[in-house]
Amino acid sequence: MKTRKSASKRYKVTGSGKVAYKKMGLRHILTKKSSKRKMHLRHAGILSDVEQKRAKSMLPYAN
């Protein structure tokens, strides 16, 4: 089985089996965004159960 390279670059499977991703919106045009908003964007997001199933099917070697 081949890994979808686009998925492997976007997602990371945590130790407990959840799928983490980097939140969008922290690359440019940061002056108008509040400090609180930028702070929350720094932390990784966790995919929903339905999306986790889809992401894991694209990452066959991630447990």
Query: What local confidence, expressed as pLDDT, does residue 63 receive?
Result: 72
Query: Hey, which CATH number is domain 5-58, 4.10.410.60, 3.40.50.360, 3.20.20.140, 3.30.70.20?
Result: 4.10.410.60
Closest among 41, 40, 42, 47 to 18, alpha carbons compared: 47
User: pLDDT by residue for the chain (63 residues), tens digit each?
Assistant: 999 999 999 999 999 999 999 999 999 999 999 999 999 999 999 999 999 999 999 999 997
Secondary-structure percent of the chain, ordered helix, strand, coil, rounded to 5:
40, 15, 50
